[in-house]
Amino acid sequence: MSALSTTRRFFLPSMSMARYVAGLYVARFLGLLVGLVATLQLLDLLTVSDDILAADGSSSAQIFYYLKLRLPQLTSQFIPFTALLATLLAMATLNQHSEIVVMKASGLSSHRILLPMGLVCGIIAVLHFAFNETVLIGANAELKYWEDNDYAVGLAPPPEFSAHARIVDGRNIILTGAVRRNGPVVILEQVSIYSRDETGKVANLVRANFAAYIDNKWKLFDLRRFDVTTHSFVPEESSDWDITLPPERFLNATIEPDFSTAISLYRAIKRLSAEGRQVNSLIASLLQKFTGPASTLLMPLLGAIAGFGIHRAGSLLLRVVTGMALGFTFFVADNFMMAMGEFGVAPPFLAATAPFLLFLTVGMAVIFYTEE
């Protein structure tokens, strides 16, 4: 117990000071988050309210329903940005009232002054990750389903959904535009079936508007058959589809990261990797589920420049602007690298972690530079 107390005193010599700085930061973080999300929610609602109310039978209840689904997205998206603004505001306040000068005069280093904010940001990052895993993914799927149906009133619960799927079944290559499940019925949209001969060349092509799994068998609807050898084209209204693949094979063929938890995404990556599928973009998305909330930990470092330095006329404003520029640069770099990872241009680990590690180094360098 004494070792723990000694360690705590080494990092946080004064609990009163730590509580004061942490409380200052939390008050500004919560106030900014509520104000920012409310403003963005209002602006977003002004954009889509006409589309929501244009649906038959729509009323004010649909407006509140949209707010309920959109709120988690805005909250999750702007938590790191709010952490940056809260750091800038808190550090500027401490600097303006010469409280940082007093703390340093008492023997506290810049790192110990920032540590209470870092601890608060660590708690925020953990809560942010839990919020994404439990609330955000459900809201994302429900809102996407509602938008795809033009904000219709009285929709059935959203079906289980999987995006583009590619299945190799013997000599057949099966491509689907989307996979939907509603209860026991599974629907494959925009189905293309390429049948290959013994040499691996495509011999026949079948394209169907959709396929349905009903009564334990597959059936194609509104299909067109094309024979490569004879160049014959035969349209059919419907036809039985003689395959033994279960619906779960199509449902598990791909996964939407925005609608999936980290655990389900990890399992999908293992399954698809075992089938020889390209999973780099999914790995990048999985890592982003952790590095996204963890980016909040960077904000005290990037915004600390607003508090350290001699307070002169104009210099404080310049340091606040510099801290904000560092934060914005991080967000731009993070989004750019994630796009590179999703398109397979950059390795997944590099795409997800490079901006975090780079700006962690930049933030530490700024602290060491201002330590004097």
Cα–Cα distance measured from residue 218 to residue 247, given in angstroms and rounded to the nearest whole number = 9
Q: Which residue has the higher pLDDT, 311 or 131?
A: 131
Q: Is 9 left (phi over 0), alpha (psi -120 to 50) or beta?
A: alpha
* Residue 207 token pair: 């394209």
SS3 of residue 236 by DSSP: strand
Q: Which residue has the higher pLDDT, 155 or 310?
A: 155
Residue 95 in contact with residue 158, Cβ under 8 Å?
no
> What pLDDT does 13 receive?
61
The Cβ of residue 24 has, within 10 Å, a number of other Cβ atoms equal to 20
pLDDT grade, residue 171 (50/70/90)?
confident
> What pLDDT does 102 receive?
80
- Out of 162-171, 345-354, 358-367, which region has the weakest mean confidence (pLDDT)? 162-171
pTM metric for this prediction: 0.77
pLDDT grade, residue 105 (50/70/90)?
confident
Cα–Cα distance measured from residue 213 to residue 89, given in angstroms and rounded to the nearest whole number = 58
The answer to whether residue 327 scores a pLDDT higher than 90 is no
**What CATH architecture is 164-253?**
Sandwich (2.60)
Cα–Cα distance measured from residue 360 to residue 277, given in angstroms and rounded to the nearest whole number = 34
Residue 220 in contact with residue 238, Cβ under 8 Å?
yes
pLDDT grade, residue 312 (50/70/90)?
low
> What pLDDT does 155 receive?
77
The answer to whether residue 354 scores a pLDDT higher than 80 is yes
DSSP per-residue string spanning 323-346 = HHHHHHHHHHHHHHHHHHHHTTSS
pLDDT grade, residue 12 (50/70/90)?
low
> What pLDDT does 253 receive?
64
Cite the residue boundaries of each domain of the chain with CATH code 2.60.450.10: 164-253
Q: How many Å separate Cα 156 from the centre of its chain?
A: 26
| pLDDT tens, position by position, 181-214 | 776 778 888 888 888 887 778 888 888 888 888 8
Cα–Cα distance measured from residue 57 to residue 68, given in angstroms and rounded to the nearest whole number = 19
> What pLDDT does 124 receive?
96
pLDDT grade, residue 305 (50/70/90)?
confident
> 41: exposed, middle or buried (C-beta count within 10 Å: 0-12, 13-18, 19+)?
middle
Q: What is the DSSP letter of 308?
A: S
Residue 178 in contact with residue 164, Cβ under 8 Å?
yes
Cα–Cα distance measured from residue 190 to residue 180, given in angstroms and rounded to the nearest whole number = 12
Q: State how far the alpha carbon of 18 is from the alpha carbons of 91, 94, 115, in Å.
A: 14, 13, 8
| pLDDT tens, position by position, 1-10 | 456 566 556 5
| pLDDT tens, position by position, 255-283 | 778 888 899 888 888 877 876 667 888 88
